[in-house]
Structure 1
Amino acid sequence: MTTLSPFAAPSPHIRRSQQVALVLLVVTGVINYLDRATLAVANEFIRADLGLSLGQMGVLLSAFSWSYALCQLPVGALVDKIGPRWLLGIGLVVWSLAQAAGGLAATFGWFVVARIILGIGEAPQFPAAARVVSNWFPVRARGTPTGIYNSASPLGVALAPLLLSPLIAATSWHWAFYVTGGMGLVAALIWVSLYRDPDHTKMTAAERAYLEAHDGADAAPKTSFASWRALFRHRATWGMMLGFFGSVYLNWVYLTWLPGYLRTERHMDLAQSGIAASIPFFCGFAGALIAGWASDRVTRHAADPVAARRNAVVVSMLGMVAFTIPAALVESNVAAVACISIVIFLANASSACAWSLATVVAPRSRIASLGAIQNFGGFLGGALAPILTGYIAQSFSFVPALLTGAAIAFCGAMSYHFLVGRPIPEHD
């Protein structure tokens, strides 16, 4: 039987399926983050309309992250059981309806419930994307597509102020939620109509051999609940959870509060803040694409792949800390936006490197499990960041709020550095 090695070019049929899958993942990922960022862009208008304090807005901005974080652990198993086509399709419908419901919110409680359901609906997006890449790309060819679908997150945040600020100015903040919710429903229909798993696609034996190539390695053993729980016996697991907490915390300070910060603390108008808030996240888009590519090449020449990928995370996070301090203290708006742009570039580079770190620290049977545990820790930081930032800004100003984020990110970098040192063995 003719086989294709994992280094061979895929057939035109597989290449077409890969391209369709990646385009759909990027589109749904951009909508996913547009929906998350709508509240941040409309921050001031919603606060004025509903009479919310900065502290209450912090709670509202964090409501999404709590449900999203808690759903990360079970959703991976559901993707494996149900498949990415239907679980992501259902998730798109749920989160799009929740997004549209946010536009109908007339009370603080209604809005909190809508954001919680939004977090539940959006939870399958990235686990499903990881499964799609593992379905359609052989082991040695998964780095680039992983970087591509991860770049959708900063791209969505970058587009949010550019697309939604003019819409809000022309209509009201309610329409920003209605329009983005409608986009998600259309995307759900397109996703379910066009995406198919390899198991439901007619292919030749050689094409299936290409997808199933594992470079001669034996199949990974099955994962049990006991082996998943055993990950918590290793300090590397805790180092990755605590480290990603710090990285995502500082990233989400900017993701949730940047437009409001620019208008409240930096006194920019809606048009200025819309452009200024988008620039850093276009830099983050570049950071996500570049980091995975650079990390792979550094690791190829490193004696210790764990140390190489861990150090990439630590250096990126220390850079985030270093540039957040002047971002908080400089008087020039241009200098502040430039510093924030570097921070967001490094934040997305750190995130991409952290996901690749999981692939070399975890045993082969539990790569997804360790990645999900790390992401769970990260989004606990993402949930805390809007609340703490809102209350600090309300009590003092945004300056100590940003410096607090820098301090938490520094502690996260130290957690990676001192706790993540060796790979977790397969049999422990």
Structure 2
Amino acid sequence: MTDVPRPESPQPYRWMVLALTAACFLLTFVVRFIWPPLIPVVVPVLGMKMSQAGAYMSAFYIGYVITQIPAGILADYFGIRLILALSLALEGITTFAMGSISTYEAGFALRVATGLGAGAVFSACSRALMEWFPPKERGTAFGALLAAPSAGILLSGIVVPALNKAFNWQAAFQAVGAFTLAVGILLFFLLKTSSQARSQGAGIFGGFKVVFGSRDLILTALAGFCLMWVELGTATWTFASIKHLGYTLKEAGSVMVFYGIGGLIAPLASGYLSDKLGHRKNILMASLLVIAPVTVIFGYQTTIAALSAMGFVFGFVSYLANPHLSVMISEFAGKQWAATANGTSNFVFQLAPIIGPVVMGWAIDITGAYTSVWWIMAIGPLVGALLLIPVNPENRRD
């Protein structure tokens, strides 16, 4: 299906665009987190060390970070339909191939390749929503898109163990890979994109002038780094922290289910609310300020019941801010450069899981206590709120 001009008035097809892009983004999290549930099964079979098992997640992020900026540039220049279809195809093929690995090295290379495909998705999805949704609906649209990470994590935790139990670990990889590839092919024929917002006339690197010339965009991206500081820190250290209290990994997992449910609901509610009330910057700043004390409170709970209850609250407040970050970054860049802006910003965001775990692990080594981790995490959103003070939402390009 070729690119078509998009009328200025909202069209019913925009909801199809939202469904397709949300499915794309969700699948990047399913293929990302297909590995953790299979670690206990695959490691003994392949004779791997646990450090090597952990490196498979690092391998994914190597590819994921590499493609953020170039994928955004290419999506702005060539259009989103081709980029998304190729990205899902690469994720699907490499995940399917994981079902046939016999060596650690082969699996590592495939995980890097899967990350390369996944890293191209968010920037293209952001541009699609900017093209099809008017400003008064963008909070709702981005809220639905950004519910996909929590949904993908929850889905992988349910589907992957079930596939492994019903068949085997090879079939789990192959089923998820085949489905992802099928969605990529379907998307290529179903997704329409606007021909009005193409960036070809300004040159393939024209978006950098806009991105790095906007103080508001840069400060918002840095605030996003601060948000990822706590979100990715939680994903990294919660299991170990609860295990340190004497509970099992299964009990820790049940806490994270509540956290994930909160994270699934929050962007949907927050995005819709911002469309009705406006004031996205104020909602974003308030969200960041609330995250800080809730982070510390969660970290000091000692019973599974309290951890589960606070886990839901923690997940909810942690993901309230996500839609507003993406909408603001997209609007500061405008439709023409939305993919470049989101690719560049997401690159900045992904530095948090590279730097944060090292700093927090060092704090645990020094203090011997996990409580220090939660205080260090809480600093991130506070700094993010301060960075947003001089940001002027009226400086959006569209």
TM bucket, shorter chain: 0.7 to 0.9
2:73 equivalent to 1:70: no
- The one-character-per-residue Cα deviations of 1:46-84 (angstroms, maximum 9, x if unpaired) are 66762224xx66654333334323322221222233333
**AA at the equivalent of 1:6:** S
Kept in 2, the 8 Å contact 1:363–1:424? The answer is: no
Amino acid at match of 1:296: D
Residue 363 of structure 1 and its aligned partner are, at CA, apart by 6.2
1:207-286 alignment to 2 at 5 Å? 222=202, 225=205, 228-229=208-209, 231-232=211-212, 235-255=215-235, 258=238, 267-268=247-248, 270=250, 272-286=251-265
CA distance in 2, matches of 1:74, 1:137: 24
Match of 1:415 among 363, 384, 387: 387
Which residue of 1 is the match for residue 303 of structure 2? 332
Inter-partner Cα distance in structure 1 for 2:275 and 2:314: 22
Is the Cα contact below 8 Å between 1:41 and 1:165 reproduced in 2? yes
| Equivalent residue for 2:90, pick from 91, 94, 97 | 94
Among 250, 270, 274, the alignment partner of 1:295 is 274
**1:377 corresponding residue in structure 2:** 348
Residue type at the aligned position of 1:22 = L
How far did residue 104 of structure 1 move? 4.7
For the residue of structure 2 that corresponds to 1:290, the secondary structure is helix
Of 25, 33, 50, which aligns to 2:48? 50
Q: Is the 8 A contact 2:263 2:319 kept in 1?
A: yes
Equivalent residue letter for 1:292: G
What SS does structure 2 have at the residue aligned with 1:50?
coil
Instruction: Note closer, same or farther for the CA distance 1:338–1:186 as it changes in structure 2 (3 Å cut).
Output: same
Partner of 2:377: 405
Alignment correspondent of 1:194 = 190
Q: Is 2:258–2:311's contact at 8 Å kept on the other side of the alignment? A: no
Is 1:320 aligned with 2:299?
no
CA-to-aligned-CA distance 1:87-130 (integer Å, 9 cap, x gap): 21111111122223445555554444333212210123222223
Superposition deviation, residue 43 in structure 1:
5.2
* Cα deviation code 1:6-55 (max 9, x no counterpart): 36xx4xxxx2x4343333333332222111222344456566762224xx
Match of 1:6 among 6, 9, 29: 9
Instruction: Check whether the contact 1:62–1:383 (CA below 8 A) recurs between aligned residues.
Output: no
Deviation for aligned residue 1:352? 0.8
Tell me the CA shift for residue 377 of structure 1. 0.9
The alignment status of 1:147 with 2:118, answered yes or no, reads no
Pick from 105, 119, 124: which aligns with 1:123?
119
Mind listing any 5+ residue stretches in structure 1 that lack a counterpart?
200-211, 300-307
- 1-structure distance, mates of 2:113, 2:146: 22
Taking a change above 3 Å as real, the CA distance of residues 130 and 121 of structure 1, as seen in their structure-2 partners, is same
Contact 1:66/1:379, CA 8 A, preserved across alignment: no
Shift of 1:153: 2.0
Kept in 1, the 8 Å contact 2:228–2:353? The answer is yes
Query: Distance in 2 between the 1:364 and 1:21 partners?
Result: 15
Deviation of the 1:392 alpha carbon: 6.4
2: distance between equivalents of 1:319 and 1:310? 14
Asked if structure 1 preserves the Cα contact closer than 8 Å seen for 2:127 and 2:338, the reply is no
Alignment RMSD: 3.7
SS of 1:349 mapped into structure 2: coil
Q: Compared with structure 1, are the counterparts of its residues 337 and 365 closer, same or farther at alpha carbon in structure 2 (3 Å cutoff)?
A: same
Quickly say closer, same or farther: Cα 1:235–1:138, change in 2 above 3 A. closer
Partners of 2:73 and 2:207 within 8 A in 1? no
Larger displacement relative to structure 2 (241-250 or 58-67): 58-67
Partner Cα separation in structure 1 for residue 260 and residue 152 of structure 2: 8
Aligned length: 387
Residues 250 and 225 of structure 1: is their aligned pair in 2 closer, same or farther, counting only changes over 3 Å? same
Q: Kindly indicate whether the alpha-carbon contact (under 8 Å) linking 1:33 and 1:156 is maintained by their aligned counterparts in 2.
A: yes
Q: Percent identity?
A: 20
- Letter of the aligned partner of 1:18 in structure 2? R
Deviation sequence 1:198-234 (CA, Å, 0-9, x none): 66xxxxxxxxxxxx7x9xxxx9x95774662364355
Q: How does 1:99-118 map to 2 (within 5 A)?
A: 99-104=95-100, 109-118=105-114
- Structure 2 regions of 5+ residues with no counterpart? 1-5
* Offset from partner CA, 1:254-282 (integer Å, 9 cap, x none): 34565666567663354x55544333222
Change (3 A) 1:352 1:258: same
TM-score (norm 1): 0.75
2:180 is matched with which residue: 184, 188, 200? Answer: 184
- Does the CA contact (< 8 Å) of 2:130 and 2:335 recur in 1? no
Distance 2:342 2:285 in 1: 17
Kindly indicate whether the alpha-carbon contact (under 8 Å) linking 1:34 and 1:159 is maintained by their aligned counterparts in 2. Answer: yes
Q: 1:274 to 1:364 in 2, by over 3 A?
A: closer
Cα–Cα, structure 1 residues 103 and 358, in superposed 2: closer, same or farther, change >3 Å? same
